[in-house]
Amino acid sequence: MEQVLLALGLVVVAVIVAAVLRRRQPSAAPTQPRFRAPAQLDRADFPRPEAPFLVVAFTSSTCHTCATMAAKAAVLQSDQVSVAEVVVTEQPDLHQKYAIEAVPMVLVADAAGVVGARFIGPASATDLWAAVAELRQPGCSPEPDLGH
């Protein structure tokens, strides 16, 4: 009988020690929100809707990274590619329509407005160029999943 009580006592002590140790362990950090980019744009909302491709930089005038991304996007302007910068203080209706929650956000869309690539936060000019090239001619980029 003593052995049973001793074993039961050891089990109780082990459970208490395990509970105390579990409380002392730091909990996992909460997951961070993931911002979603629109999957479709209405080409009529942006300049040159007849252009085969569209690059839109959603920005804020108070964001230094936004200015850099807008400048990188502007270089892509051509006969085939229309580029637009949508500053939240100047066009809040478009930011609201497309539920833009984070800037800078650069979207690359085709003639139908289907977004083929999206960049939230800073990206290199090379990455933007490669995303446009991949949308124009699928399979030409060494990183075809860039911007996804």
Inside any domain, residue 147: no
Inside any domain, residue 17: no
Count how many domains the chain has. Answer: 1
The mean pLDDT of 16-25, rounded to a whole number, is 73
What's this model's pTM, rounded to 2 decimal places? 0.75
Instruction: Decide if pLDDT at 104 tops 90.
Output: yes
Confidence of residue 23 (pLDDT cuts 50, 70, 90): confident
The dihedral through the CA atoms of 115, 117, 121, 127 has a sign that is negative
Give the strands of the sheet with 81-87, arranged side by side.
Answer: 81-87, 53-59, 105-109, 115-120
Q: What is the CATH number of the domain that holds 104?
A: 3.40.30.10
Inside any domain, residue 112: yes
- Phi–psi pair at 40, nearest 5 degrees: -145, 140
Confidence of residue 57 (pLDDT cuts 50, 70, 90): very high
Domain that holds residue 65: 43-136
Looking at residue 12, its pLDDT comes to 73
